[in-house]
Amino acid sequence: MSTDISFVTRSHEENWLPVLELAVEEVFEIMLGCRVRPAAQSEHTPSREFTAMIGLAGALCGILTVCCSAKTAGHVARGMLGDTAGSEAEVVDALGEICNMIAGNFKNKLAGTDERCMLSVPSVISGGEYNLHSMANGNSVETVLLFEGAPIAVCLQLES
C-alpha cells in the first residue's frame, strides 16, 4: 500500500473543512433524520463530557474526534436507537458509531483515499477532566455544528 500523504495533503488541504462539514451533515441526516448547521466556535463552546475518536492510517494518518456534552450524546443515542436508549453503554456505542460513520464518509469523499486509508475501532472517553494529546502534528481542521441547538465539535488532525 502506497502512503503518499504529501500528495493527499497538497491536493485536499484547502477543501477539507467543507468536505468534513458535508460528511457530518450527511451522517446526521441519514442516521438521525435531522439537519445540523455550522456554528461559530466563539458563539458555542462544546463540552467535552463525551469524546469519540477514530484513528486513520494509510494515505491519511491521524485522528478524527467528535466531542459533545453528556446531554447531547444522549440525544444522539435516542435519535439512533429510539426513546428508550439511555444507558451509558448505549450512549457510548451510538457516539462511537457516529464518529466512525463521519470518518468513513469523509475519507470516501477524497478521491484516491477511500481504499488506501484504514479506520480504527472507535474509542470513547466520558468525563470532562482530561486532555487529549494527538501525535498528529500536521494539518488540523475543526468545525462546530449545532445539533438540536447544542454544539458538537468535530476535529480532524492529520500527520504531515
Kindly report the CATH number assigned to the domain that includes residue 146. Answer: 3.40.1550.10
Domain count, the chain: 1
Residue with the larger pLDDT of the pair 19 and 113: 19
* Structural domain of 20: 5-158
Q: Could you report the per-residue pLDDT of 50-64, keeping only the tens digit for each?
A: 999 999 999 889 999
| pTM for the structure as a whole | 0.87
Owner of C-alpha cell 480532524: 156
Averaged pLDDT of the chain:
86
Give CA separation, 97 vs 81, 140, 156, in Å: 12, 22, 16
Say if residue 73's pLDDT is above 50.
yes
Within 10 angstroms of residue 99's Cβ, the number of other Cβ atoms is 24
Q: Residue 136: its pLDDT value, please?
A: 66
For cell 447544542, name the residue: 150
